[in-house]
Structure 1
Amino acid sequence: MTNPALRTSRLVSGYRRYLASADTLRFAQQVSECYLPSTLAKLLRLGDIEVRRAAALALGIVGDSSVIEPLGRALGDCDRGVRLASDDAFRASLVRDAAPVHHQQLLQIMHLNDGGEFAAALPPAMILANHAPMYAEARHQIGVCWEGLGNNAQADKAFRQCLWLCRFHYPAWIGLARCRIERNQWRGALIALERATSICPDLEVPRAQARAIRRRLGQSERQG
């Protein structure tokens, strides 16, 4: 069995070479040859700062559905570099959390949503969610579609379905908060914003929104 320290040093050495060269392909090959996603997830949890950064970067390349939760937890790491690398890896793993053919369909839907073509994105998003019912990001994109079309009730439902599949999906928590703000459901919006910022501490806008809602609720209670 390979010495754990040696395995860690290989990861760090590859990570340092990647930082110097930006050679993603080489780093991916080295990681794939030496590490399982489960090993990288353990290093992400237990390693020192450099090891955690390297593990997060590696998981963005070779991670599968099994590492989504460890990456979700790492979004709150004490080191900002780990948080940023984990965020990139988390988003990449969400996209890969289905069969390859579904990845391509999802990317097309995301492209339509990013361009504001919500009506065009909704039918393929619903078909994709039907074909891949455990695909959290498909549910999130349905929520984005409905929200863009002004149907906040359906968007709220889709975001909650996404969160049932992946409780660390902080963009869905933020989407849920937006829907509830639009419907004047201030306490529900506050809960959603607090969940998002507890998962990902670097979310400054949602944190500011939560403070504003707390002030609003406090004023309502004093007036009542």
Structure 2
Amino acid sequence: MDSLVTAPFVRTTRLTVAYRRYLTSANSPQFVAEVDEYYSASTLASLLRRSDVEMRRASALALGMLGDHRSIESLGQALSDPDRGVRLAADDSFRALLVRDAAPRHHQQLLQVMHLNDGAEYAAALAPTMILVDQSPRYSEAFHQLAICWQGLDDIPQAEAAFRGCLWHCRYHYLAWQGLARCRMLEHDYEAAISALRRCVGICPDVENARIQIRVLERRLRQTDA
């Protein structure tokens, strides 16, 4: 009976100690090794939902390094955690897992596409992104990058379809909700844009520019109705 009572405390202490050491040293390999020895991704996900603030921060950080596809849902939920530190750690880990959520070769292809999109080379990025989506049809971030390509090329219907494809595979992809809102704005469907932006903010309350967009669109709608 004593072991049943003390075992959770020992596990909690190990994660907390590893986390505090990481904050001091920024030694990621050491943190990963210490956590991986005693915790599975499913245990970290459970701690992220139910523990105190420090443990939730530690779990969010660790899932970005040790988690897999199944961890994305838990991190997506943690994007709206009451504690800002948890939200920030969850956001970093969430985006890292979205990018890694494929076979290594597809991951490398995505990084190349992201580099092209970041440089506004949308025409150059389009063909390799379409190939990537075809080769890895469950890769939500590939759909997101495809949507960015289409939006950069001013093909709004294709961009909207790609954003929706991204959200079909990851409903917590708040940047895709924001991108979908931009498509709706360009089509002058302000109510649908506001709805998408509210989904974005509901998932990730720290997206302040989405809040600003909501206020602008609501004001525009009131002026239209007047």
Aligned length: 222
Instruction: Describe the SS at the equivalent of 2:81.
Output: coil
Q: Report matched runs for 1:90-105 at 5 Å.
A: 90-105=94-109
Q: 1:211 aligns with which of 206, 212, 215?
A: 215
1:162 to partner: Cα distance: 0.4
Q: In structure 1, how many angstroms separate the alpha carbons of the residues matched to 2:190 and 2:222?
A: 11
Partner of 2:169: 165
Partner of 2:145: 141
Is 1:201–2:205 an aligned residue pair?
yes
Unaligned runs of 5+ in 1: none
1:14 to partner: Cα distance: 0.3
Q: In structure 2, how many angstroms separate the alpha carbons of the residues matched to 1:202 and 1:154?
A: 28
- Spell out structure 1 runs of 4+ moving beyond 4 A: none
TM-score normalised to structure 1 length: 0.97
Partner of 1:51: 55
Q: In structure 1, how many angstroms separate the alpha carbons of the residues matched to 2:100 and 2:58?
A: 20
Q: In structure 2, how many angstroms separate the alpha carbons of the residues matched to 1:23 and 1:99?
A: 26
Is 1:155–2:155 an aligned residue pair?
no
Instruction: Describe the SS at the equivalent of 2:70.
Output: helix
Q: In structure 2, how many angstroms separate the alpha carbons of the residues matched to 1:155 and 1:119?
A: 14
Question: Is the deviation greater in 44-53 or in 91-100?
Answer: 91-100
Unaligned runs of 5+ in 2: none
1:102 to partner: Cα distance: 1.0
1:218 to partner: Cα distance: 2.3
Amino acid at match of 2:58: A
Q: Report matched runs for 1:169-188 at 5 Å.
A: 169-188=173-192
1:81-138 CA distances to partner (integer Å, 9 max, x unpaired)? 0000000000011112111111111111111111111111111111111111110000
Is 1:126–2:137 an aligned residue pair?
no
Is 1:66–2:31 an aligned residue pair?
no
* Aligned alpha-carbon RMSD (Å): 1.1
Percent identity of the aligned residues?
A: 59
Partner of 1:33: 37
Instruction: Describe the SS at the equivalent of 2:60.
Output: helix
Q: 1:80 aligns with which of 68, 81, 84?
A: 84
Amino acid at match of 1:40: L
Q: In structure 2, how many angstroms separate the alpha carbons of the residues matched to 1:8 and 1:50?
A: 10
Q: In structure 2, how many angstroms separate the alpha carbons of the residues matched to 1:64 and 1:25?
A: 17
Question: Is the deviation greater in 136-145 or in 90-99?
Answer: 90-99
Q: In structure 1, how many angstroms separate the alpha carbons of the residues matched to 2:97 and 2:169?
A: 14
Question: Is the deviation greater in 174-183 or in 80-89?
Answer: 174-183
Amino acid at match of 2:67: G
Q: In structure 2, how many angstroms separate the alpha carbons of the residues matched to 1:156 and 1:88?
A: 25
1:32-76 CA distances to partner (integer Å, 9 max, x unpaired)? 221111100000000100000000000110110001011000000
